[in-house]
Structure 1
Amino acid sequence: MPHHNTQGIPPGCPAHGNAQLYGTQFGSDPEGMYAYLRSLGPSSPVDIAPGVQVELITSYNAALYILQNPASFVRDSRRWTALREGLVPEDSPALPMMGYRPNALFSDGAAHARLRQAVTDSLAFVDERKLVRQTQQSADYLISRFSAEPRGQAELMAAYAQPLPLLIFSNLFGCPPELGDLVITGISGIFDGTPGADQVLGGALAELIALKRQHPGDDLTTRLMEHEAKLTDEEMLHQLVTLLSGGTAPLSAAIGTSCALYLTEDSQAGLPIEDTVSRTLWNFAPIANYAAHYPIHDVVLGDRTLRADDPILISFAAANTDPQLTEHRERLSSKAHLAFGAGPHACPAKDPAFMIAVTAVESLLNRLPDVDCRVPFTALTWAPSPWSRSLVTLPVQFTPRAVTQATSELARPQVQQQPEPTAHPSNASESRSASPQPKGLFSRFVAWTRGE
């Protein structure tokens, strides 16, 4: 057995047991951890959470092989041996990310094809020009909230990158203002770890589904509902949760990182914004480690044997920066990165997502032409999450100026009044009627678009 020099290796690296892909130590230098893991082969055992071991794929070629080989590697986490044997802690933070849900992400074969087709067909109805205008309008609203700040300073992650996709998706789903507020509260709470957030989101989406059954609209929820796959209400709810979680948090991360790169480095090089977003997807994959697969039989990979029904996670971040790949990257397509996955489970909305990120950066620069980052890119702090690569904060400065709804006149028709439920209101809607709550983000945004 070869001897590895452990001097200088931090506790938690494989030399002292499994590498720990969580906590501040990992968050401060994930690239260093990936480099070490690559030295052990195309895959290594790691702890994704306390007491939860997975096999992490750090090689681009190995990742692509697994992603494109559904005959040997499936996504249904009910196969997970340790979970079935009760060896995964019930309160593990890995379970919300890896536990089975009846959606396309965790399905295989005919079940996956049916759910996936419903999603892709519904997304095909999204008008790209309309989506650009919706993004511009949402961006203008958020910028209007901080652009006149007398000090000319803002924190872009909380004020811009994080809420922007939430506004866009609430609009795409056809949410009435109050339901849009609840959807945003729920999905934000899930990523913040707020107790009860999943119940808030589930209740809001169930109410939205009931509303669209009665009052169909020109929106993504209605398209899914009317698809020939004839999704049940439970299937509808889980597809909407997947679209929300898979669409909002990674987009927020991509927008924030792209803004940071452009303001600190790429603008000096005169690069187009599209190139900056591509650089983000290559070097700072928003979904860093995810896409759990389960071999249906033992598979030999390098010097390791991947056991049947033991989870394999794809490190999109490590695969995209694999030194064996970067030597040939100039000959690859700019879209050859794995930030959107690959194979039958690849992101079905990668083109709209790319367009939203580009439009978000453009909108910021158009409204605040002299905006600048207050610290170097290397001084920015990243969230210590194994799942995502997202900035914690992005402090900027600019010349204060007012941004009004008049800047988005072309986009204004895209946010329309959605019908409220009229029959058999849920307990949640009755409670809101009896005890009016302060308007949330989406309600305020809709009011702003109407000039109220």
Structure 2
Amino acid sequence: MQHSESGMPAGCPAHGNPALFGPGFGSDPEGAYAALRATGPSAPVDIAPDVQVELVTSYDAALYILQNPASFVRDSRRWNALNEGRVPEDSPALPMMGYRPNALFSDGAAHARLRQAVTDSLATVNELQLVRQTQQSAAYLISQFASSPRGQGELMADYAQPLPLLVFSDLFGCPPEIGDQVIAGISGIFQGTPDADQVLGAALGELIALKRRSPGTDLTTRLMEHSARLSDEEVLHQLVTLLSGGTAPLTAAIGTSTALYLGEEWQTGLPVEDAVSQTLWNYAPIANYATHYATHDVELGDRTIRANDPIVISFAAANTDPRLTAHREQLSAKAHLAFGAGPHACPAKDPAFMITVAAVEALLNGLPDVEMRVPFKDLNWAPIPWSRTLLGLPVRFTPRVVTPKTAERSATTSRTSVSMPHAAPSSETSARPQPKGGLFSRFLAWTRGE
């Protein structure tokens, strides 16, 4: 993807709009946002081939839309171009923007009912237990690559991506075989695997049926027992929303926060929380999303946006709006829009922050001498509009053996006081048969010392 002299990614042939996808955009999204801001608080872009949206880059305009549900709604069944057959049937925008019967795409009373069930259920999650589950999941993943004689790892694929999946499988109360299928389904959706939707739907359907027979103390049971009396189909769609809306952003946040903390410009002594906050401000994990549809024609700057045309919020551009950054030190550390705002703000922002911090700290404690193999500025980002996520995070470290017992000890120590590493495993130890099953089954077996 080539950039024009204005700094914008080259336009899509269909509309002549800047393109928010491809390697040109992926390599310099900040440059693209800066060029778009020059046209006003919003500008038309192509978010996928032949899919035009109005992208809001102004912090004030984004906040106005997010907090004005009377004029801007989320139900994508209003989408003009889709209803008129102008969106390609195989467009990558459809899985992200197409209607689903969940809180994310609902408005008014329907939204309030579904959201209340989700927020009340999330409120029952024990914070200490959530941190411990994150630490245990982290320790298992570290154990899978920490003993490599080369002392090298790739943290996005081996750590940041699978960790949220393990945590969510536990939160949902999945038995091993269902957890394996849930992970296979949601991973397949993000990787474009055929029939991944069906795999995930079948696994969650089986989980819901299991909880009908044998309720537990998990998030799935809490949703099913809520006073809103969700149908099984509604429970399934809220679980899908939690999975898709939670796992990919957490992966991005864990990866970027780790890279910032290990990066060449990070000030020694600052806490991990600062790296996570900087990620949320400057590298919003959900970069461009929250599609809204105006209920009537509206004016944004010098542009008139037609009713029911899609308006996408650029959380990434809004957070780095120069009008905001000029006095950002006077704002609350939580004034960023990485978790949205208004009635559709992320209901799990506090658990998400805790998981991210715990994941980064667990890595630093488990591998106290871990270093990046390339500078932060040379890392590559995914060339997609929806999220700001690293393609890879190559690191090096001293090889060590991580077991459930050593992991439990290291979780209570700081990065600078971790005990000396164990010797790398012998060939006899390495040849020990691995437990069968998928990721969640293997994780549970590891926690039992099998």
- Residue in 2 that maps onto 1:449: 447
Per-residue CA deviations over 1:155-184 (Å, capped at 9, x if unaligned) read 000010000000000000000001101100
Cα 1:18–1:319 change in 2 (3 A) is same
Structure 2 SS opposite 1:53: strand
Which residue identity is paired with 2:372? C
Q: Name the SS of the counterpart of 1:20 in structure 2.
A: coil
Moved more, 262-271 or 59-68: 262-271
Q: Which amino acid aligns with 1:440?
A: G
Distance 2:243 2:197 in 1: 12
Q: CA deviation at 1:408?
A: 4.7
TM-fit CA distance, 1:407:
3.1
Q: Which whole-Å CA distance do the structure 2 matches of 1:75 and 1:130 have between them?
A: 34
Q: CA deviation at 1:23?
A: 1.0
Deviation at 1:25, TM superposition (A): 1.2
Amino acid at match of 1:18: N
Call closer, same or farther: CA 1:336–1:253 in 2, change over 3 Å.
same
Deviation at 1:24, TM superposition (A): 1.1
1:114-144 superposed Cα distances (whole Å, 9 cap, x missing partner): 0000000000000000000000000000001
Q: State the match for 1:154 in structure 2.
A: 153
Shift of 1:409: 5.1
Are 1:251 and 2:214 an aligned pair? no
Give the superposition deviation at 1:271.
1.4
User: Aligned residue for 2:95?
Assistant: 96
1:190-234 CA-to-partner distances (Å, cap 9, x unmatched) read 011111111111110111111111110110000000000111111
Distance in 2 (CA, whole Å) between partners of 1:77 and 1:171 is: 32
Letter of the 2:194 counterpart: P
Distance 1:323 1:267, change over 3 A: closer
Equivalent position amino acid for 1:451 in 2:
G
Structure 2: distance between partners of 1:191 and 1:409: 32
- Any unmatched runs of 5+ in structure 2? 412-434
- Structure 1 residues 59 and 444: CA distance shift in structure 2, 3 A: same
Q: Does the Cα contact within 8 Å between 1:134 and 1:411 map onto a contact in 2?
A: no
**Residues 266 and 276, structure 1, Cα contact 8 Å, conserved in 2:** no
Moved more, 55-64 or 23-32: 23-32
User: Between Structure 1 and Structure 2, how many residues are aligned?
Assistant: 423
8 A contact 1:137–1:411 mirrored in 2? no
Cα distance in 2, alignment partners of residues 445 and 411 from structure 1: 18
Residue 17, structure 1, aligned to residue 1, structure 2: no
Q: Secondary structure at the match of 1:204?
A: helix
Q: Is the 8 A contact 1:140 1:405 kept in 2?
A: yes
Aligned residue for 2:405? 406
The residue type paired with residue 38 of structure 1 is R
**CA contact under 8 A between 2:288 and 2:386: conserved in structure 1?**
yes
Q: Write out aligned runs for 1:303-314 (5 A).
A: 303-314=302-313
Residue number in structure 1 paired with 2:420? none
Does structure 2 conserve the Cα–Cα contact (< 8 Å) formed by 1:67 and 1:341?
A: yes
* Counterpart in the other structure of 2:338: 339
Aligned to 2:48: 49
Query: Which residue does the alignment assign to 1:199?
Result: 198
Contact 2:261 2:275 (8 Å CA) reproduced:
yes
Please report how far the alpha carbon of residue 265 of structure 1 lies from its aligned counterpart in structure 2 after TM superposition: 3.7
Q: Structure 1 vs Structure 2: percent identity of aligned residues?
A: 78
Q: Spell out the pairing of 1:55-94 with structure 2 (5 A cutoff).
A: 55-94=54-93
Partner of 2:280 in structure 1? 281
Distance in 1 of aligned mates of 2:224 and 2:409: 29
Counterpart CA distance in 2 for 1:299 and 1:341 is: 21
Query: Structure 1 residues 13 and 330, CA, compared in 2 at 3 Å: closer, same or farther?
Result: farther
Is 2:248 aligned against 1:223?
no
Match of 1:421 in 2: none
State TM-score, norm by structure 1: 0.91
Q: CA deviation at 1:451?
A: 1.1
The match for 2:427 is: none
The alpha carbon displacement at 1:187 in A equals: 0.4
| 1:270, distance to aligned residue in structure 2 (A) | 2.4
Partner of 2:164: 165
The equivalent of 2:183 in structure 1 is 184
Partners in 1 of 2:193 and 2:437 — Cα distance? 20
Partner Cα separation in structure 2 for residue 386 and residue 7 of structure 1 = 19
What TM-score does the superposition give when structure 2 sets the normalisation length? 0.91
Q: Using a 3 Å threshold, how does the CA distance of structure 1 residues 112 and 176 change in structure 2: closer, same or farther? A: same
Pairwise CA RMSD of aligned residues?
Answer: 1.8
Unaligned stretches of 5+ residues in structure 1: 413-436
In 2, the alpha carbon distance for the partners of 1:104 and 1:193 equals 24
Q: Secondary structure at the match of 1:230?
A: coil
Preserved CA contact (<8 Å) 2:180 2:441: yes
* Structure-2 separation of matches of 1:98 and 1:207: 27
User: Structure 1 residue 402: deviation in Å?
Assistant: 0.9
Distance 2:335 2:443 in 1: 37
Letter in 1 for 2:319: N
- 1:371 maps to a residue whose letter is V
- CA deviations 1:383-407 (Å, max 9, x no partner) are 1111000000000000111110113
CA contact (8 A) 2:103 2:114 kept: yes
One-letter code aligned to 2:365: N
Q: CA deviation at 1:86?
A: 1.1
Partner of 2:383: 384
